[in-house]
């Protein structure tokens, strides 16, 4: 039976097929299972990753703009967009702009929220991570976020504060391309009696940043930096999308948006 309703799942993307399946595809499948009456579409926001997937694996991935055109061509009239982004940063802004450009092609467009959107989300993420990656007194869990020049980079210090406020003083949040940087974390970690470091990417997928910036043997990687400081290091090369409860949180956001409770954009075409 043909449906005129669609859910577009928008991710930054990854060129690593294994982590794509374990994280992005897993979220898409959960969404399809939860909303069988909707047709599911995929889009990536990274042009570089889209080009690499095509050239290396001959896999074609839509941009947000081309996905909107594809849905229009398929006869879709109602569009629900769920980003898998962690924060409401540059990629999310661009996604909204691209989707809004196609507003006249559909009777309605709703855009749901990224992972960290409310104070409740921060608490839930803290509890989920502590359940899945508990740490002992002499251990520290160090989360590697992406970071951004966008003002939404404040989400990372806010998450760090939430961990501390909940009593997890041995969990630290840093970023590759924003604030706090790894050097800022050393200032705090070195003041504690920490012996063992658990490194975890605070990213949807365990892609290039996790494999190269976090876990490689390059002297500038986070693992190498901690080893140079004399710590034992354990790298957990898994994306957030591999955690069932994280995927369920995205589904919570989607469900609220579908029912009009929490959206970034809720556009309806005036048909009168």
Tell me the three-class secondary structure of 187-234, residue by residue: HHHCCCCCCEEEEEECCCCCCHHHHHHHCCCCCCCHHHHHHHCCCEEE
Question: Do 55 and 167 belong to one domain?
Answer: no
Averaged pLDDT of the chain:
94
190 and 223 Cβ atoms separated by less than 8 Å:
no
Question: Do 11 and 61 belong to one domain?
Answer: yes
Confidence of residue 1 (pLDDT cuts 50, 70, 90): very low
Question: Do 131 and 165 belong to one domain?
Answer: yes
**pLDDT over 60 at 272, yes or no:** no
Question: Do 82 and 30 belong to one domain?
Answer: yes
27 and 33 Cβ atoms separated by less than 8 Å:
no
- Alpha helices by DSSP H, the chain: 17-19, 26-34, 47-57, 64-73, 90-101, 119-132, 155-165, 182-189, 208, 222-228, 244-258
CA 246 to chain centre: 10
- Interacting residues of 170 by C-beta distance below 8 A, sequence separation 6+: 135, 137, 139, 140, 141, 192, 194
Question: Do 162 and 254 belong to one domain?
Answer: no
2: which strand partners?
A: none
**pLDDT over 70 at 105, yes or no:** yes
The residue with greater pLDDT, 266 or 124, is 124
Pairing status of strand 5-11 against strand 196-201:
unpaired
Question: Do 81 and 163 belong to one domain?
Answer: no
Question: Residue 260's pLDDT is what?
Answer: 83
Closest alpha carbon to 128 in 91, 155, 168 = 168
Binding-site residues for Co(2+), please? 146, 177, 209
Question: Do 236 and 124 belong to one domain?
Answer: yes
Task: Quote the number of domains for the chain.
Answer: 2
Structure tokens at 111: 């855009």
Q: In what order do the strands lie in the sheet with 196-201?
A: 171-175, 139-145, 196-201, 232-235
Question: Residue 271's pLDDT is what?
Answer: 34
Residues labelled catalytic: 146
Express each pLDDT in 212-271 by its tens digit. 999 999 999 999 999 999 999 999 999 999 999 999 999 999 999 999 876 666 655 443
Question: Residue 266's pLDDT is what?
Answer: 63
Distance between CA atoms of 109 and 223, rounded to whole angstroms? 43
Question: Do 32 and 103 belong to one domain?
Answer: yes
Confidence of residue 87 (pLDDT cuts 50, 70, 90): very high
Supply the range of the domain harboring residue 206: 119-240
**pLDDT over 80 at 74, yes or no:** yes
Residue 18: how many CB atoms within 10 A of its CB? 11
Closest alpha carbon to 68 in 2, 3, 111, 8 = 8
Calculate mean pLDDT across residues 23-33: 98
The CATH number covering residue 254 comes to 3.40.50.1400
Q: What are phi and psi of 167, to 5 degrees?
A: 95, 10
Question: Do 234 and 141 belong to one domain?
Answer: yes
Question: Do 92 and 105 belong to one domain?
Answer: yes
Confidence of residue 199 (pLDDT cuts 50, 70, 90): very high
6: which strand partners?
A: 39, 79
Question: Do 163 and 231 belong to one domain?
Answer: yes
Binding-site residues, please? 146, 177, 209
Question: Do 108 and 147 belong to one domain?
Answer: no
């Amino acid at each position: 039976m043909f449906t005129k309703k669609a859910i577009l799942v928008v991710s930054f993307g990854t060129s690593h097929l294994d982590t794509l399946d374990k994280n992005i595809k897993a979220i898409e499948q959960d969404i399809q299972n939860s909303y069988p009456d909707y047709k599911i579409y995929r889009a990536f926001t990274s042009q570089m990753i889209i080009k690499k997937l095509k050239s290396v694996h001959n896999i074609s991935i839509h941009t947000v703009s081309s996905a909107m055109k594809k849905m229009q061509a398929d006869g879709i009239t109602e569009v629900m967009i769920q980003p898998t982004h962690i924060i409401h940063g540059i990629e999310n802004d661009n996604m909204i702009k691209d989707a809004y450009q196609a507003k006249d092609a559909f009777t309605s467009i709703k855009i749901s929220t990224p992972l960290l959107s409310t104070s409740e989300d921060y608490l839930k993420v803290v509890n989920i991570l502590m359940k899945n990656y508990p740490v002992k007194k002499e251990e520290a869990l160090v989360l590697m976020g992406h970071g951004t020049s966008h003002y939404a980079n404040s989400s990372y210090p806010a998450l760090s504060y939430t961990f501390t406020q909940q009593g997890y003083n041995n969990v630290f949040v840093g970023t590759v391309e924003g604030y706090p940087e790894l050097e800022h974390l050393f200032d705090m970690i070195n003041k504690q009696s920490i012996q063992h470091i658990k490194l975890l990417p605070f990213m949807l997928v365990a892609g290039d940043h996790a494999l190269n910036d976090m876990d490689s043997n390059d002297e500038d990687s986070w693992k190498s930096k901690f080893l140079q400081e004399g710590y034992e290091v354990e790298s957990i090369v898994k994306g957030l999308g591999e955690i069932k409860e994280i995927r369920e949180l995205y589904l919570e956001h989607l469900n609220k948006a579908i029912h009009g409770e929490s959206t970034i954009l809720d556009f309806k075409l005036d048909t009168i």
